Structures are given as C-alpha cells and as structure tokens.
Amino acid sequence: MNRLVPASLFGRILAILLVGLMASHAAGYWIYAADREQAVRAVGGLAVAQRIANATRLLREAPPEARPRLAGALADAGFRISELAAPPALDAAAEQAVGARALREMLARIAPAPDLPAPRVGVTAGTSPMAAPMMGPGWRGGGPWQGGPMAAGMPMLREVTALMPLPGGSWLAFRAGLPEGGGDVSLQFLLSMAVMAVVILGASILAVRQATRPLAALAAAADRLGRDVATPAIEEEGTTETRRAARAFNEMQSRLRHLLESRMQMLAAISHDLRTPLTLLRLRVENLPETEETARMLATIGDMEAMIASMLAFARDETVTEPRRRTDLAALLESLVDDMADAGLPVTAGRLDPVVAEARAAALKRAIRNLVDNAVTYGGGARASLIATRGEVEIRIEDDGPGLPAGEIARVTEPFYRAERSRSRETGGVGLGLAIAQTIAEAHGGRLSLANRAEGGLRASITLPAPC
C-alpha cells in the first residue's frame, strides 16, 4: 500500500487533490444524471399526458363512426390508440409503478369527465414500445406496434398504458413510451467535465508547487548547513507556517554560528594562555645544562605544543571561513606529492588528468596531506591517484602497510581515536588527522572512506560531487 503513496509532500498533496477531484466529478455526474432523469421523466410524462388528453377530447367529441379513422390519424409508431368495448385488466404493479399515479392525477385534471369513470394508468418498466406486441384481441384502430424512423437512436423507454373512458361505455386505450433518461450522457457534458478537470488540475499543480517550494528550499538549506554553518540565510516566504519555519531555521543558524565563533575565541584564549607558560618553560629548560633529562623535557614540551596546535586546528575548522574557488584537483594533488617527495617522503603519483571543481583548496590540501601522512607513517609509503567518473571524482591514497582490523575502520575517523594504542609521538599524532580529513570532505559535500586492499595495505578515498 505504501508503494502507491507518493513519497514527496508535493506528490501526496497532489494525489489528495486528484482523489477529491475525481470524487467531486463522480458526485457531480451522479447528481446530473439523477436530475436529468427526473427532468426527462417530468417533461416526458407531461408530454405524454398532454397528448393523451388532447386525443381523448377530440375522440370524445367525434361521432362514433369517425373515431377509428381519427385514432389512426392521431397515432404513430410511438403512440398507439385503440377503442375497446371494455377496459382490459391492468397489472396491479404497473398501476402502482413510479409515475403511474402522477399521470392519473394529471389526466384527471387536464381531461376531466365528471360523469365518466376515472382514468386508469399503468407503467411497465424496462420495455420498449417499439417492439411491444398488442395487448391482445379487441384493439381497433391500430394493429401491432411497428418499428419506424423514430425507433433509431431512442433511449430506453418505459411503456405507458392509459385507459380513458368514452361516452356510451367504451374506452380509449393509449400506449406510449416514457423515456428513462438516466443513461444518456451528452458529448457536451463530458467535454465540460474534462475541461473543468484540466483547469482544476493545472491550478492545483501550480498551487501545490507554490506551497511546497519553501519547504524544498528549507530542506536544501538544512543540507547546506550540515556542511557549512556560514551558508547564507534562506528567504522567509510562503505560508505563515513556512515563514515561521524559515525564521526559526535562520535564528538557529545564527545561534550555531555565534556558538562556533565563541568556541574559536575561547580556544584562541586558551591557546594564548597555554603557549605562554610553555614558551617560558622551554626557555628555562634550554638554559639548563644539556642532559638526557633536559632533552626529554624539551621533547615533552614539543609534544604538548603539537597537541595544542592540532586541537586548535581541528576546532577552528578552516572550511568554515575559506571560500570555494574553481580548483584543478590534479594540479593540487601533484603539487602536494612533489612537496612531500622533495622532503624525502616515499610519496608517488601516477598520471593525473585535469579535473576542475569548486573547492576550498587549502582545506582540501590539508585533508589530502593528512591521508598521505597516515599512509607514510603506518604503510611505509603512499601512492596518490585521481579517478573522475560521471557524477563524482575520487582522490585515492593507497599504501602497502598492514591495513586496519575490520572493527577499527569505522572508528579511526573519530576524534582522538588511534588504532595504535601506544600514544607515542614516534608512531603517529594525537588521533585527529583522519577526523579532520573527514570533516573537510563532508564540508565539500563528499565523504571519506577507508578500506583494506585485497593485495594488502589500506585505501583512503575522498569522494567529491561531480566536477564542474
């Protein structure tokens, strides 16, 4: 059942409107058909009653010998007249059928005969007088019903049998068709319904799209905020509810930006407060005689300074402030590889084809450097490559080291987590390199992925959205 329900708000609202439109059209058709049937019955009954009354008045005033000829002249394929010596028996259900009582009252009113018996009327549903046989022997002035030009294209008819008294004790028997009128739908009606449906559907699509557009903009802004807290505020437009949601979103973004700025200011103050005593401590140790213990003290001070610098860099997150620019990723990667190779590190790169994308060059270069440093430290060397596919570009760093245990791959990107537990400065940093690389990749709308290579070693990849 859920597969039939659209996933988007636009689709769901439009589906509700379409269901409502179909229901309203069905109800409209039903009302139209019922009203049309009632109108056709009323008009048809009035016409039949008027015709029977007119014929009765003429035949009552005519001489008895002229009545058969006059009845034949008044009759046609859909209206038969016969004179009977005695009234035939009518079915009780036919005399109680819908319309029979109304026709009797109408005939008694428009063809009154106070000194004669009351007229009798019977209505038989679902028959066609075009093919109905005679009521039996005793009819004069007609013969059996015959099909004719009027029979073609006529709607379903109910058969009306009316018995009108004549002076002298004889009776006039009339047989006519009373149209049902319920099943015939005109082309004009169907066309008008189709035009209304198209107009309402078009207006509904425009209205729903206009109503849901601010929500789509809000969703896109929330996605951008997850990557860049400095993204521009969204327009407060649309309905009252969407304007309130947009206003709350902008206020939340402003508070987040203020929180990050406060954190950066606090960390800058902490950095200043920590570095000053560390600098003084370094100066005092350097003034001591050089011994093995002073060397250890200086190394410890250096570790503390490096840890503070790494934590400040992670908390500062340069991707927040650096603007995006069109960057040749191949040139950026080649430059980084050349610089690290010149420094004596075992870093190589294959042939790199130019790929231009919108990126924060300094931040992206830092993320790649962290991956390369990680590969050199734990894998003994690094190979860089750039793979561009339709829709994505992948910066890949591979090594030939031992790789990572399967349970560690998902955790090594957590801040301060190190798969190597010794915490020795000789075997790595403080556990922020991969966390910083992941943050930078996500700020570009991409992702960082790690996987052990089948032939040995680790593959670290930064995948970015489609290049420009």
395 falls within a domain: yes
Domain around 36 = 14-133+154-179
Q: Check: pTM over 0.75? Answer yes or no.
A: no
In angstroms, the CA 207 to CA 468 distance is 34
* Predicted confidence (pLDDT) at residue 106 exceeds the cutoff of 90: no
Look at 398 and 134; give whichever has higher pLDDT.
398
Buried b / exposed e along 328-347 (16+ C-beta atoms within 10 A): bbbebbeebbeebeeeebeb
Where residue 347 falls among pLDDT bands split at 50, 70, 90?
A: very high
CB atoms within 10 A of CB 438: 22
Question: Each residue of 293-313: pLDDT tens digit?
Answer: 888 888 888 878 877 776 666
Average pLDDT over residues 445-465: 89
CA dist 290 to 82, 248, 287, 295, 299, Å? 143, 62, 8, 7, 13
Amino acid at 27: A
333 falls within a domain: yes
Q: Give pLDDT, residue 287.
A: 85
3-state helix, strand, coil in the chain (%, to 5): 55, 15, 30
Where residue 354 falls among pLDDT bands split at 50, 70, 90?
A: confident
* Predicted confidence (pLDDT) at residue 139 exceeds the cutoff of 80: no
Look at 458 and 273; give whichever has higher pLDDT.
458
Query: Which residue in this structure is represented by tokens 């009977």?
Result: 84
Look at 183 and 164; give whichever has higher pLDDT.
164
CATH number, domain with residue 449 = 3.30.565.10
Average pLDDT over residues 109-127: 80
Look at 262 and 83; give whichever has higher pLDDT.
83
Q: How many residues does the chain have?
A: 468
What single-letter DSSP state applies at residue 40?
A: H
* Predicted confidence (pLDDT) at residue 137 exceeds the cutoff of 70: no
Q: Give pLDDT, residue 404.
A: 87
Q: What angle do CA 430, 433, 438 make, to 5 degrees?
A: 135
105 falls within a domain: yes
* Predicted confidence (pLDDT) at residue 421 exceeds the cutoff of 60: no
Question: Each residue of 40-85: pLDDT tens digit?
Answer: 667 777 888 899 999 999 999 899 888 889 988 999 888 899 989 8
116 falls within a domain: yes
> Final residue of a domain: which of 179, 213, 244?
179
Look at 272 and 171; give whichever has higher pLDDT.
171
Q: Give pLDDT, residue 160.
A: 86
Where residue 425 falls among pLDDT bands split at 50, 70, 90?
A: very low
Query: Which residue in this structure is represented by tokens 């603007």?
Result: 323
455 falls within a domain: yes
Number of structural domains, the chain?
A: 2
Q: How large a percentage of the chain has pLDDT more than 90?
A: 12
Question: Each residue of 184-238: pLDDT tens digit?
Answer: 566 777 788 788 888 888 888 888 887 778 878 888 888 777 766 777 888 888 7
CB atoms within 10 A of CB 212: 19
- Residue 421 near residue 351 (C-beta atoms within 8 A): no
